[in-house]
Structure 1
Amino acid sequence: MMPGPEPMTALAKHCPICGTRYDGAATFCQKDGAKLTSEQRDPFVGRVILDQFRIEEPIGAGGMGTVYRAHQTTLDRHVAVKILHPELASNPDATRRFHREARVATSLEHPNLVRVFLFGELPEDGSLYLVMEYLRGRSLTQALKTEGALPVPRALHVATQIAEAVGMAHARGIVHRDVKPENVMLVERRGDRDFVKVLDFGIARLLWDDATHLTQSGVIFGTARYISPEGAAGEETDARSDVYSIGVLTYQLLTGVTPFEAQTPVAMLMKHIHDQAPPLRSMGAGRRVPQPVADVVQRALAKNPDMRWDDAGQMADALREAAEHCAVPLPRASWAPRASTLPPARGRRDLTPTAPVPLDRSERSVDTSMQVPGLSKRPRWTTMLAAFVLGAAAVVGGVMLLKSRGQAEQGPLTELAGRARTALQAGHLDAPPGENVLELTARMLEQAPRNAEARAIRREAVLTLREQAARARAGDELAEAKRAWQRVLVFTPGDPQAVEAIREIETAEAQARAPEPGLRLTPEEVRVGETSTFLAVVDGERAVGEDAHFELWRGRRRLRRVPAVRAGDEKRWVGSYTWRAAATYEVRFVMGAGEDALELEETQRVQRRSARLARDDERPRTTLRPTPRPSPSPTPMTMEASTMDEGIDWTIPAPGMTASPPAPIVQEPEPAAPPPWTGGVL
C-alpha cells in the first residue's frame, strides 16, 4: 500500500508570500522562489534594534533577506526593515551586494519609488539591515489577478507612473532589470488609490561604470515573462531593456494578458527573442484601446533595442501624449520627469515622426540684435526666395548623396544577412567553411560593427547552441554538452555561463571516470616472482585517516605490512608487492583506527611457476658424463636435452653414458611473520 501524505504537523516551514507549507529540508518556495520561514519563533520578532526599531512581524522574504514590519519609537511611525539572511551574512559577495543595493536605493528620490531611510550593520551580531518606508497597499500582481485588464485611463495612469519612476533612475545611470507586477505596489495617496511605488532595485547596475561591471553578458537576470530579448539571450542590457519590460507590463494592464504564453521558462525566453508581439488591439480587452496608445506599446516591444525609446522617461511622455491625443483622461503626475542625461547611443535615432511645433507670433519676429547697420530690418521677399531655393537644393543633394551611400553600404550587408539566415535555418552555425553563421556575421560586423541584424542572428545561434547543450546535459551526454558550450565560447568569448557549464561538465566527467569504492588487485592471475598492484578506492564521504596501509594475510596470520601511497587525491591509495611463494592470500586495505577504521579485503591466489614460464638459465638440463670402461669404446655422442611443454625429458643417453637426474626446483620457504610493527615503514 502506498504511504499517505505527511500530516501538516510534519511540515516545518512555510512561504511568507503564498503560505504554502514545506518540510524542514526545503529552503525556497517552488511557486514564487521566496525563502521559506521556519515554524519556530523568529529571533528578530520582538527585538529592538538600534535603540529605536521594534520588530513586530515578518511581512515578506526574498532571495537576500526577510522584510519585517517595525515601529520606530523615536518618530512614532511604522517602517519596513530588511535583514539579510543569516547564512548569507557571512558571504563577502552577498554582503557587497547588500551594500550596493542600499547605496543604489538611497540615491534615488522620486514619489513613485520606495524611500530608504538608512542601512548598515547591527552592532549586536553584525547582521546587515535596510530601513525603508512601510507601505500599506497591494501588489500590482494582486490587482491584475482580481480585476484583470484595467480601464484604459487607470492602466495608463499606472503605466506612466512606473515609467516616470524608472525613467528617473535611468537619468541617474541606473537600470532596474526586473520590472514586473511583483515589484510594483499600489497604495493610496491623496485620494489616489492607484498611486505607484516601484520596489527592488537590488539587481540594478550603473550604466556608465565600464571599469567595474557588476554583471556580465551571458548571465540572465529578470523574470521570463517580462524580460527583454537581449536579456533573454544573456547579452548586455541597458535602459531600453527596462523600456521593453514596461511595455510588456503596460500590454498586460490594457489587455489582461501578456504578449507571450509558454509552458516553460525556456520556451518563454525563445518567444521573447524570436516572436513578434501580437497586435495589442487583437488580444483580450485590447480592442477598446485607442490605436495611438497601442502604437506606443508596440514600439516599446520592438525586438531591436534601437527601435525603442532611449529611456523610460521618454516612454512616459509618449504615453501621455497619446492619451491627450485620444482625449483619454489622465491625472497629471506630481513629479515632472527630468531630461535624460544618459550618454548618447551611437547609431540610435528616434523613429517616431515629430509633429511641427507651432510658434507664436513673438517667436516668429525677427531678432534685431544681429542685424547689419544700413540694411532693412524686414527681409526682402526675393532674398527669402533665393535662400529657400538654395537651401532646398542643398537638402535634396545631401539626401540623394546619403541615399546613394546607404544603398551602396546596405547592398553587401543585405546579401550577407540573407546567407547568414539561410545558414542559421540549416543549422550551419560554425561549419562548413565560408557558409556558416559565425563567418558570415563576422564579415557583416567588419563592415558595420553595430549592425543589429548580425547581432540578432548571432543571438539566435547562441541560443540554439545553449538549447543543444541543455538537451545533451539532461540526457547525460556530457561530451556533446561540452562541445556545444565550447561552440558558444567561439561566438561569445569569455561567456561566464558557458565557462561555468564547462567547468561543471568537466567535474562530472572526472567523477564518472573515478572507479567505484573498493579494493582492486591487478593482474587478476599472478604467479610466484610476479608483482601485484593494489588499488584502494575510498568512499568520498568517509573521513580520510593518516595511517593507511595494505596487509597480507594467510589464514589467521598476518605475514606482511605493505605501505599505501596516495594516488593523486584523498580517495585512491596504491601499493605493490612481489610474491615469493604460491598460496592463497587475503589482501586488506586498512585506514584509521577504532570506530572510524575502514577495512577493504580481496583474495589473491598466487600460483607456482610452470616449466614454460621459467627462465632459460633456470631450465633443468640432463648432463651426460662418460663412464670409464676397460675396453675402448666409440666416441661418445652427446645430445642436447630438450624440455617439452609436458615437462618430459626426451634425451636419450648414448651407449656407455649415464644420465644424471634433473635438479629439483626448490620452492622458497614462506617468510616468517614479521615482528610487531613499531611505526617504521617496511
Structure 2
Amino acid sequence: MSHTSGEFLKPDLAALQAASDDLSYSGGLEPVTGLFGQKLVAGKYEVLNFLASGGSGTLYVARNLVTGETVALKVLDTDCSGRGRGHIPDGRLIARFLKEGRTLAMLSHPGVVKVLDSGFDLGINKYYLVQRFLPGETVEAYLERNVESPASFILEFLWQLGSALSYCHSMGVVHRDIKPANIMMQPHLKGKFVYTLVDFGLARYERGNFSFLTRSREVLGSHYYMSPEQCLSETIDERSDIYSLALVAYELLTGRKSANTGSPLNVLMSHVNGLNLPQSLSDPKDELSERLYKIILKAASRRPEDRYQSLDELLVELPRPEWKEWK
C-alpha cells in the first residue's frame, strides 16, 4: 500500500459543540471489526483495538509490524478522496491535524506525548498520526472514581504538568485544551504516577510560519476548562493554559468542578463573569492543602494579569515534591 510519510459576544452554542474536540480515552478496549474495511495502515501498522473517538479523529491501538512496537494510531476522520456526495474534504480539519503532527514533532519532553510517524495513506484516503502508546488512564477517568485527592498528589501533578507546559511555552506552543481527558496518568513505583499531555489538536504555535487556524469569533476548547479570554475568542497566551491547569487541579483537590453546571453557554458565562470560587477550603486536610489552594486561586484569576505570568513563576511558589524520579 502506497503512502507518504474584548467586548463579550455570546458564543454560538452549535459552533462550540462542533468545534470542541472531546477525544478521550475509553475505559476499556473494544475489538475493531475493521478500520475502514481494512486493518493495515501505511503498510506497516496493524490495527489491534479501538481506543477512543472524538471530533477530529479516531484513536486505535496498533502494532508496528516492522519493529513490533505497540503504538497509538490516530486517523483523521474526514475523507480526502473528494469522490461522491459527502466526501468533500474539510480543509480546516486537515490543516489542524497536520499542525498537530508538526507541533508534536518539534517537542521533546517526558511530559509530552511523543510522535513517532505521520503521513497520508492512499488506500483509505486519510491522514494518520502515530504516537507513543501510553498505558494507564486519563485524569478524567481517575476523577470519575475519586472524589478528591491528597495534597501530595496535587503537588506532584502540578509539578509534572507545570514543567511540561513550561517547556511547551518556551518552544512557543500554547496547548489551548488543557482538561482531564487530555492528561494521561501512568502508574509508577511507590504508588506514584507519571503524567503526560496529549491531544495538541488545538495548540497554537506562536513562532515560525504556522498559520493560526481559528476563525474570528470562533470558540474552540472544552467549556469547563476554558479561560475567560478563550471564551471571548480573544488572543490568548500561556496564561490561558495556566488558568485551565488550575481548574483541573481545583477539581482534583476538591472533588468538584469549578464552573457552574448546566448548558455550555452557562458554563462559558461563569468563566467570563468570574468563577467566584471560595477563598479558602471549607475543610482543609493539612497545611499543604491550604497552600496549594491559594496557588490554584491565583492561577484561576479571571484577569490574565492577575494570574501567574508564567509556569515558572507558579512552580517557584510550589514546595519541592519528595519524589523526583519522573524528571
TM-score norm. by structure 1 comes to 0.40
CA distance in 2, matches of 1:214, 1:168: 22
| CA pair 220-287 structure 1, distance change in 2 beyond 3 A | farther
Query: What one-letter code is carried by the residue in structure 2 that aligns with 1:85?
Result: D
Query: What one-letter code is carried by the residue in structure 2 that aligns with 1:267?
Result: N
Give, in angstroms, the shift of residue 333 of structure 1: 6.0
Contact 1:138 1:187 in 2 (8 A): yes
Give, in angstroms, the shift of residue 308 of structure 1: 1.6
User: Structure 1 regions of 5+ residues with no counterpart?
Assistant: 1-27, 336-682
Contact 1:69 1:80 in 2 (8 A): yes
1:43 aligns with 2:42: no
Query: What one-letter code is carried by the residue in structure 2 that aligns with 1:66?
Result: T
Contact 2:73 2:131 in 1 (8 A): yes
Match of 1:72 among 23, 41, 64: 64
SS at match of 1:231: helix
User: What are the residue-to-residue correspondences of 1:439-478 with 2, within 5 Å?
Assistant: none
Deviations 1:180-203 (A, max 9, x none): 001011113455541101111111
Deviations 1:202-226 (A, max 9, x none): 1111224699433355222211111
CA distance in 1, matches of 2:273, 2:78: 42
Contact 1:232 1:272 in 2 (8 A): yes
Deviations 1:236-288 (A, max 9, x none): 111000000011111111111122223222121121121353235335x5554
Higher relative contact order (CA 8 A, sep 6+): 2
SS at match of 1:42: coil
User: Structure 2 regions of 5+ residues with no counterpart?
Assistant: 1-16, 25-30, 82-88
Contact 1:251 1:280 in 2 (8 A): no
Deviations 1:374-419 (A, max 9, x none): xxxxxxxxxxxxxxxxxxxxxxxxxxxxxxxxxxxxxxxxxxxxxx
CA distance in 1, matches of 2:48, 2:32: 15
CA distance in 1, matches of 2:35, 2:210: 41
CA distance in 1, matches of 2:150, 2:75: 38
Give, in angstroms, the shift of residue 48 of structure 1: 2.5
1:52 aligns with 2:44: yes
| CA pair 209-228 structure 1, distance change in 2 beyond 3 A | farther
Query: What one-letter code is carried by the residue in structure 2 that aligns with 1:196?
Result: Y
Task: Find the counterpart in structure 1 of residue 4 from structure 2.
Answer: none
CA distance in 2, matches of 1:106, 1:192: 31
CA distance in 2, matches of 1:85, 1:205: 21
- RMSD of aligned Cα (Å): 2.8
CA distance in 1, matches of 2:239, 2:216: 16
Deviations 1:649-682 (A, max 9, x none): xxxxxxxxxxxxxxxxxxxxxxxxxxxxxxxxxx
CA distance in 2, matches of 1:209, 1:305: 25
1:263 aligns with 2:262: yes
1:98 aligns with 2:90: no
SS at match of 1:332: coil
Task: Find the counterpart in structure 1 of residue 55 from structure 2.
Answer: 63
CA distance in 1, matches of 2:279, 2:249: 10
| CA pair 273-86 structure 1, distance change in 2 beyond 3 A | closer
SS at match of 1:57: strand
Contact 1:45 1:56 in 2 (8 A): no
Query: What one-letter code is carried by the residue in structure 2 that aligns with 1:261?
Result: N
CA distance in 2, matches of 1:282, 1:239: 27
Query: What one-letter code is carried by the residue in structure 2 that aligns with 1:161?
Result: Q
SS at match of 1:87: coil
Task: Find the counterpart in structure 2 of residue 144 from structure 1.
Answer: 143
Query: What one-letter code is carried by the residue in structure 1 that aligns with 2:153?
Result: R
| CA pair 137-45 structure 1, distance change in 2 beyond 3 A | farther
TM-score norm. by structure 2 comes to 0.81
Query: What one-letter code is carried by the residue in structure 2 that aligns with 1:143?
Result: Y
Q: Identity across aligned pairs (percent)?
A: 26
CA distance in 2, matches of 1:168, 1:45: 40
| CA pair 116-189 structure 1, distance change in 2 beyond 3 A | farther
Task: Find the counterpart in structure 1 of residue 116 from structure 2.
Answer: 117
* Aligned residues between the structures: 295
| CA pair 88-153 structure 1, distance change in 2 beyond 3 A | farther
SS at match of 2:160: helix
Give, in angstroms, the shift of residue 78 of structure 1: 0.7
